[in-house]
Amino acid sequence: GFAADNITLMNDGAELPHHLPFKNNIERQLQLLLATVREQDMVVMAYSGHGLHVDGVSYLCPSDALTTDPSKTMVSLDTVYRLLAACPARQKLLLVDACRNDPSLPGAKSAATMKSAEQFVASLGHPPEGILLLTSCKAGQHSLEDPDLGHGVFLYFLMQGLEGAADA
């Protein structure tokens, strides 16, 4: 139901460089979108990937994320919340299709990484007033991705429902 001009899809296979899911591109596209929003509009932002909590800040991890330099290579969840909260749209929906567990490799878990995952989960649990948040799983669970779908299972079925399958 959204006009094609009002939709920006960013993914690893994007043909246009500014649609690659890098930190700067994500933040720029979000700012461009929100600059055009009016009070009667609805804003939907969907993210599929991983999230981390580093040095007191929760981040969404784009393709160019480096755990050694999160502030320069990851998208701060606080920034996303701030931008959404400041836009005039009455309806704001944030969809997060991301594991809410420790993303470390098996056998590499530590108390520090477990605490990071728990803190990321906690920051997702309390979006600012006026922002509706739907997540693919609860704390400690895995979000599933299907290579045949090209993205997460949660977003696939959510999009199917929005396209009318939920009406049946």
Please name the residues in contact with 139: beta carbons below 8 A apart, sequence gap of 6 or more: 100, 101, 118, 121, 125
Percentage of residues in the chain having pLDDT higher than 70: 83
**Confidence class of residue 42 from pLDDT cuts 50, 70 and 90?**
very high
How many of the other CB atoms lie within 10 Å of CB of 47?
23
Task: Return d(Cα 64, Cα 24) in angstroms, integer.
Answer: 10
The predicted pLDDT at position 118 comes to: 64
**Confidence class of residue 109 from pLDDT cuts 50, 70 and 90?**
very low
**Confidence class of residue 108 from pLDDT cuts 50, 70 and 90?**
very low
Q: Supply 166's token pair.
A: 């939920």
Where residue 142 falls (left for φ over 0; alpha for ψ -120 to 50; beta otherwise) is: beta
How large is the average pLDDT for residues 124-128? 77
Q: Supply 127's token pair.
A: 């979006």
Q: What is the pTM of this model?
A: 0.82
Percentage of residues in the chain having pLDDT higher than 90: 42
| Residue 23, pLDDT above cutoff 90 | yes
